[in-house]
Amino acid sequence: MFQHFLLIARRNLLKRKLYSFINIIGLAIGMTCCIVIALYVQHELSYDRYNTRHDHIYRVLQTFRSVEKGQKPPTPAPEDYWVWGSAPVGPALAADFPQIKEVVQFMSPVSLLLEYKDKRLQQENLVCIDSNAFKVFSWKLLQGNPKTALVASNSIVLTQTVATKIFGNDNPVGKTLRVDNGDLFNVTGVVADVPANSQITFNGLISMTTARKSQRDVFNMWGYVDFYTYFLLKDNTNIESMKAEIPAFLKRHNSQDPGYTIAFEKMDDAYLHSKAIRQPGPVGSMSNIYLFCCIGFIILIIACVNFMNLSTARSLERAKEVGVRKVLGVQPSALRWQFLFESLLISVMAAVLAVLFTKVSLPVVSALSGKDFSPKVFFSGQLAAWMAILTLATGVLAGIYPAWFLSRFKPTAVLKGVFKPSHSNISLRKALVIFQFTLSITLIAGTAIVYTELKFLNNHDLGFAKDQMLVLNFEGDGQVQKNIERIKRSLASQTGVLSVAAARAVPGEFLPNAGTAIEGINGQMVSKIPLIYEIDFDFISCLKIKMVAGRDYSRAFLTDSTQAMVINEAAAKLYGYQHPADAVGKMFDQWGRKGKIIGVVKNFNFRSLHSEVEPLTLRYGMPYSLNRILVGIKAGNTAATITALEKTWKAEAPQRPFLYHFLDQSFNQQYESDQHFGYLFSLFSCLAILIACLGLFGLATFTAQQRIKEIGIRKVLGASVYNIVALISKDFLRLVLIATVIAVPLCVLIMNQWLKDFAYRIAISPGIFIATAFIALFIALITISWQTVKAALANPVQSIKNE
């Protein structure tokens, strides 16, 4: 029976090559999308799972809130917590909770200048971490002893990539690096590069004892935040019992701060489910995962609908075959198995093509998604199992209705030649075409909305000048800080330079929070924890940030560097001032500095447009706190200006490499994940419309063939090519138009949910859907016209000579 099914299936595939091609290619593209999306989802869900004890690793979330005396602090919301917190909580947890096996802490990453002989490398993302890190995290130490590598002061473990850059193929263990033109660090190990699916990333690990030597006090300060705290639970312990003991724990160790509390979060939830801020690395989006899963399912459904549509449309061609077989005694169940077998055979062929398509397209998909998909996945048993399930499911989904439909034909009606497709059959095909194009048009409109939002983000007025703004990174070099004003004057004297300023950070980079008391509207000092921006006299004017009240910092006022502060509009509102001018002249107390507020700047988006502008204090920063120099340059001769700046830099700071980037480029990196989302969304939308058009092309071809005699008679009676094309096309175009009407509210509903992730977002305009409708109709018309024009131009004599 199997050989018989195979023979019949082969004959039908070869007899109807065009329809076979459409079905196989359509299903192959649909299955390819499913494979790619499955790889994407698997990558997102695998974050931090490389740790062998990942299900036993938790991290400490901390909140720091200002609470007035006598007030009970409200229960913090998930987004009120920080992953970034204070150091004392770690040792206290280890001492109080016997359920904890290991506690490991690490600090915010730093950028250091590493020197070895004649090689100099400004290396970012170096992390100070506890010596027991290798007991908690499954980082593979390639060279060195994991028990001792991070024990001694001034010890550093390099990743394999960084070690190769500095030492080549030599063994770096035991060698010495000069760091920031000062201290000598001993290389005690080489660790394998952290997997791409890790939230905690680094290029090197520095022993925590190194930080303790230079910053001893901060390790005992509950109010100082610069640490991430993770712990490993013992087997057969319950985290819920630990959560119940948190109030008593805080009362024992930090009762003087009622606004402080902690929570525990599973490491497995950190990447996709955490709402806490100050994350140690990238975070993913469950909504994107759900959306891509839906898109993959939609595309596969569209491909299966093509199969069903073409199979039922060609029912007349196979009706006689079914009738003869039934007369010969073949049972309907056997016929259903035969047609289902043909569907499964096409699905297998499509699956083979899908694997090939995926393998070829994987580098492109990796680039578009920003994810590193390893080719090794094609040699895994897991992929083979998933492909078998996908192939079977696709074959059954695509073939079960046609098999049932074709096996129901009555042999007497078929063999007498009175069999005609039922109205329900025709209506079903129309409904399926509408369904296909509804989904496809929804994706097209969604793509337009995504790109409109991304364009809006890139063109939105941020409130500061980021174009043609060069950022020189000197990472707190002491010599540069000491001579910062002289270096700024030298840079400003170069042709093509418009302005020069210095700051601790630039927009888009990390900013700390600072406990700040400002005189409120009732004359009492009000304590809050706004962000703090340490800047120099020229920063506000260099970035063209607008003042809305008061004045900017000025060298003409001697006390501006020690007794003055500028805040933004959001900070003024935070302290109760609805009108910015009312905040000018009020007293402040921040980080040991007291004085008066001299001005209020207009809110500017120093962070991503995903969030509203936060309260910000712009504090004059002493030279020792500065890390960046901003240089505004003229457009038109950028290369020559940069060359001149580099020459000046080497003369003024020969000990420090000339490292620079453009502010607009670094700021826009915040939207990198959104850009990748847009690329993938566009790709899948194009594939969906392609599959839908393949089905439409097949139906148009079949319709033209079925109506060939009608077309011939109409031509003989004087119908023009335009009349005939319009006659055949209008039914299909009507279906596409109906699909467009249905797709509009569906797309609005879905994309409004996506836009909620942006504090600054577009309003979905009717113009997007009008343009989408025209695009869909145009694509459908082009698809249909190929066959309708061909049929209209055919010689009518050939089509009606047998009548």
Token pair for 552: 């900017």
Average pLDDT over residues 253-277: 91
Does residue 424 sit in helix, strand or coil? Answer: helix
- For residue 378, the model assigns a pLDDT of 60
Alpha-carbon span 266 to 57, nearest angstrom:
6
pLDDT at 332: 62
Which range (173-182, 236-245, 370-379, 503-512) has the least confidence? 370-379
Tell me which residue has tokens 């992730």. Answer: 757
Share above pLDDT 70 across residues of the chain, in percent, rounded to a whole number: 85
Q: pLDDT band at 497, cuts 50/70/90?
A: very high
Residue 745, Cβ density class (10 Å: 0-12 exposed, 13-18 middle, ≥19 buried): exposed
Q: Per-domain residue ranges for the chain?
A: 2-44+286-457+672-800, 54-269, 469-668
Q: What is the pLDDT of residue 245?
A: 93
> Is the pLDDT assigned to residue 769 strictly greater than 90?
no
Mean pLDDT lowest among 210-219, 463-472, 487-496: 210-219
Torsion angle, alpha carbons of 330, 335, 337, 338, to 10:
100
pLDDT at residue 209 is higher than 90: yes
Distance linking the first and last C-alpha atoms of the chain = 41
pLDDT at 238 over 70: yes
374 vs 598: CA distance, rounded Å: 56
CA 645 to CA 496: how far, in whole Å? 10
Six-digit token string for 132:
């027991």
pLDDT 10s digits, 675-697: 888 888 888 888 888 887 777 77
Tell me the average pLDDT across 385-406.
Answer: 71
For residues 167 and 162, what is the distance between their CA atoms, to the nearest angstrom? 8
pLDDT one-digit tens code per residue, 510-519: 888 888 999 9
The model's pTM is 0.82
pLDDT exceeds 80 at position 762: yes
Helix orientation angle between 286-313 and 423-459, rounded to the nearest 10 degrees: 150
- Give the per-residue pLDDT at 444: 86
The crossing angle, in degrees rounded to 10, of helices 315-327 and 286-313 is 60
The tens digit of pLDDT for each residue in 279-331 reads 998 888 888 888 888 888 888 888 887 777 766 655 555 555 655 565 555 56
The alpha carbons of the chain give a radius of gyration, in whole angstroms, of: 34
Interval 753-774 mean pLDDT: 87
Q: Cα-flanking dihedrals φ and ψ of residue 487, to 5°?
A: -65, -40
Tokens of 758: 């942006």
572-619 pLDDT tens trace: 999 999 999 999 999 999 988 999 999 999 999 999 898 899 999 999
Q: Looking at per-residue confidence, does 364 or 432 come out higher? A: 364
Mean pLDDT value across residues 200-224: 92
Predicted confidence band at 133 (pLDDT cuts at 50, 70, 90)? very high
Q: Contact at 8 Å (CB) between 490 and 653? A: no
State mean pLDDT over 380-404. 72
Mean pLDDT of 89-111: 94
Worst-scoring range by mean pLDDT, 55-59, 424-428, 777-781?
Answer: 424-428
Q: Go through 65-80 and write b for each residue having 16 or more CB atoms within 10 A of its CB, e for each that does not.
A: eeeeeeeeeeebeeeb
Residue 707 DSSP SS3: coil
Contacts of 772 (CB under 8 A, 6+ apart): 441, 444, 445, 448, 740, 743
Rounded Cα gap, residues 456 and 612, in angstroms: 15
Instruction: Give the pLDDT score at 713.
Output: 76
pLDDT of residue 148: 94
Furthest CA-CA distance within the chain? 107
Q: What are phi and psi of 212, to 5 degrees?
A: -60, -30
Measured CA to CA, the distance from residue 238 to residue 58 in angstroms comes to: 12
Q: 161, exposed or middle or buried, with CB in 10 Å at 0-12, 13-18, 19+? A: exposed
